[in-house]
Chains A and B, each alone.
Chain A
């Protein structure tokens, strides 16, 4: 079985894999920093210098790799949902369900192939608009897509397969993407809670939670005591809102 996810030929462009993954600026910065740190390290001629040279060497290596690397990233995430393949397919196929599938709505679909991917919270978030085309589809079995513009490239396949026994459906998503960033930006994004695999995993998990339990479990808005400095700094990690937003709308028993 061959599933098509390639739109390049149709639009008369270079295939997905032939374009460099990172922006030229980031690659140039990585190479320059790597070279500078390596030279400084070698000139020191002591053990600290050796460590600097090692670190610089790594940056040089990753900068060179960015020039050659065919893909920025591949993601593979699978979940088992206690529903039939057709039910899961129908849920995923309905764009109206997409906005529900993350704590902070992440996808918006204008009904005409235009998908907005939002990273971060509603007001302060970054929007990535991307035209998406379904490239192949078999109802109840798989959906394949590819981005139709080159700014933020991605393509992938969602599979729906009956799970063994009475477990329901294995939904698996395989994505290739090429954002205009290198490993450094990628690491920074992960620290800020924007790791692509984590986002995909949480998105699928929440589809499972809505389909099985009818709601996404949350603690946002529950009572907490004084968090102190350290706890306040970690609020991002626990998806907590600032205290001002956590005033109750109504008291229990009202």
Chain B
């Protein structure tokens, strides 16, 4: 089959590899019909996530048709159309039974690597470094899905692939980021980053009853999309002092919750941002926590800081005094995917939201290397790329 493989920083290639086979009794094989490039794939592309190796198959947002199942798979059948969550969960451990699926004890074959770095290991993920399990990802024509009975979300007829594809990651991720804010009537939520996760966070905040949402970015097309979702917008490149602007817009109180939907590759201005760039260039750090500092400073007293953006390593110059002084609550982590997929599928079915609004570009799998470059450089107003693994490449 064809699969998109990581070959080093800024280098991905479509290669011919073996088809996946059933390796464990609870595995299934899915023939992929649609797959997407996630913002967090760019962290891999840019080389900021450790334990990636040349030849690793990328991709953790995908859906398709079940073509094979292991002998202990009962719920899912051949021919089912499914969306697969990007976190892999066994469904039997203490964490799975308490709805904390991304903390599953039993799905990371390389748990020891993560234990060395983080103390304890979370669940395995598709196509996201050996530390996170080393599972081959879904930017390919087929994928092996471990514990397919637990994760796969069956899609009823009448819904297009593009309407449900994002239940594999970014819609639940945005939704959990908003839910983590414990939104009450009258709340004002500020969201840094209007990429795909930011867009879903904006809409989820409204679904959960937020009164106002303030969206922050610097790209016009993304801010336009945020405004279409009902948010008020700030272009941080065009304001003198972002924190003063937020204070002004919230009657001097500050936002009730601040969401960092940017993560470790934040852009910014000023001395702190330059310091972060320098450190990352010298490989002294994986992360540029510019936005994290801002959300802590901007949040109102007793507010919530919610972090769906990915961080990888050890951060510094974090204003912890401000966090303590204001009594902030921090909520973060890999999305508890399995907790949200059914609930959000209902929202799609009821027409509360059509997640395909976020798609700006469609490519064949063969054109994925070009798509990565375009998405990374935000050329051609690119917000979200969807790949068709079976489509013929554009004529060269």
- Is B250 an interface residue when CB atoms closer than 8 A count as contact? no
Whether B109 contacts A239 by the Cβ 8 Å rule is: yes
Expressed in whole angstroms, the Cα–Cα distance for A202 and B111 within the complex equals 9
- List, in ascending order, chain A residues with CB within 8 A of B133's CB: 217, 219
Nearest-CB residue, chain A, relative to B72: A214
- List, in ascending order, chain A residues with CB within 8 A of B110's CB: 238
Nearest-CB residue, chain A, relative to B53: A231
Number of cross-chain contacts by CB at 8 Å? 139
**Cross-chain contact of A222 among B15, B20, B72, B90 (Cβ < 8 A):** B20
- Is A18 an interface residue when CB atoms closer than 8 A count as contact? no
**Cross-chain contact of A218 among B23, B94, B142 (Cβ < 8 A):** B23
- List, in ascending order, chain A residues with CB within 8 A of B140's CB: 223
Whether A222 contacts B5 by the Cβ 8 Å rule is: no
Q: Known contacts being A167-B94, A212-B93, A225-B15, is A249 close to B53, with CB within 8 Å?
A: no
Whether A212 contacts B106 by the Cβ 8 Å rule is: yes
Q: Known contacts being A213-B106, A218-B24, A252-B68, is A227 close to B112, with CB within 8 Å?
A: no
* Binary interface encoding of chain B residues 86-102 relative to chain A, with 1 for a CB under 8 A from any of its CBs, else 0: 00101111100100000
Which residues in window 4-30 of B have CB below 8 A to A? 5, 7, 13, 15, 17-21, 23-26, 29
- Is A25 an interface residue when CB atoms closer than 8 A count as contact? no
Expressed in whole angstroms, the Cα–Cα distance for A226 and B55 within the complex equals 5
- List, in ascending order, chain A residues with CB within 8 A of B111's CB: 205
- Is A209 an interface residue when CB atoms closer than 8 A count as contact? yes
Expressed in whole angstroms, the Cα–Cα distance for A209 and B93 within the complex equals 9
- List, in ascending order, chain B residues with CB within 8 A of A201's CB: 112
Whether B67 contacts A217 by the Cβ 8 Å rule is: no
**Cross-chain contact of B124 among A217, A226, A230, A249 (Cβ < 8 A):** A217
Q: Known contacts being A222-B20, A234-B53, A252-B21, is A82 close to B94, with CB within 8 Å?
A: yes
Shortest B177–chain A CB gap in Å is 28
Whether A231 contacts B106 by the Cβ 8 Å rule is: no
Nearest-CB residue, chain A, relative to B109: A217
Q: Known contacts being A222-B23, A224-B136, is A253 close to B67, with CB within 8 Å?
A: yes
Nearest-CB residue, chain B, relative to A251: B19
- List, in ascending order, chain A residues with CB within 8 A of B67's CB: 252-253
- List, in ascending order, chain A residues with CB within 8 A of B72's CB: 214-215
What is the number of residues of chain B that contact chain A, defined by CB distance less than 8 Å? Answer: 51
Expressed in whole angstroms, the Cα–Cα distance for A185 and B24 within the complex equals 36
* Binary interface encoding of chain A residues 144-169 relative to chain B, with 1 for a CB under 8 A from any of its CBs, else 0: 00000000000000000000001110
Shortest A235–chain B CB gap in Å is 9
- Is B254 an interface residue when CB atoms closer than 8 A count as contact? no
Whether A227 contacts B55 by the Cβ 8 Å rule is: yes
- List, in ascending order, chain B residues with CB within 8 A of A82's CB: 92-94, 97
- Is B107 an interface residue when CB atoms closer than 8 A count as contact? yes
- List, in ascending order, chain A residues with CB within 8 A of B7's CB: 225-226, 228
- List, in ascending order, chain B residues with CB within 8 A of A220's CB: 23
Shortest B220–chain A CB gap in Å is 37
Whether A212 contacts B90 by the Cβ 8 Å rule is: yes
Q: Known contacts being A80-B94, A247-B18, A252-B20, is A226 close to B54, with CB within 8 Å?
A: yes
Whether B54 contacts A215 by the Cβ 8 Å rule is: no
- List, in ascending order, chain A residues with CB within 8 A of B91's CB: 213
- Is B56 an interface residue when CB atoms closer than 8 A count as contact? yes
- Is A250 an interface residue when CB atoms closer than 8 A count as contact? yes
Whether B18 contacts A218 by the Cβ 8 Å rule is: no
Whether B68 contacts A253 by the Cβ 8 Å rule is: yes
Whether B3 contacts A223 by the Cβ 8 Å rule is: yes
- List, in ascending order, chain B residues with CB within 8 A of A231's CB: 53-55
Expressed in whole angstroms, the Cα–Cα distance for A224 and B57 within the complex equals 6
- Is B147 an interface residue when CB atoms closer than 8 A count as contact? yes
- List, in ascending order, chain B residues with CB within 8 A of A99's CB: none
- List, in ascending order, chain B residues with CB within 8 A of A198's CB: 112
Expressed in whole angstroms, the Cα–Cα distance for A213 and B134 within the complex equals 19
* Binary interface encoding of chain A residues 53-95 relative to chain B, with 1 for a CB under 8 A from any of its CBs, else 0: 0000000000000000000000000001010000000000000
- Is B203 an interface residue when CB atoms closer than 8 A count as contact? no
Shortest B150–chain A CB gap in Å is 9
Besides A202-B112, A223-B19, A224-B57, 8 more A-B contacts (Cβ < 8 Å) are: A82-B97, A201-B112, A208-B105, A213-B106, A215-B72, A216-B109, A217-B106, A226-B15
Sample (24) of A-B pairs whose CB atoms are under 8 Å apart: A80-B94, A213-B90, A213-B106, A213-B147, A214-B26, A214-B92, A215-B26, A215-B72, A217-B107, A217-B109, A223-B19, A224-B136, A225-B15, A225-B56, A225-B57, A226-B5, A226-B7, A227-B53, A246-B18, A248-B19, A252-B21, A252-B31, A252-B68, A253-B68
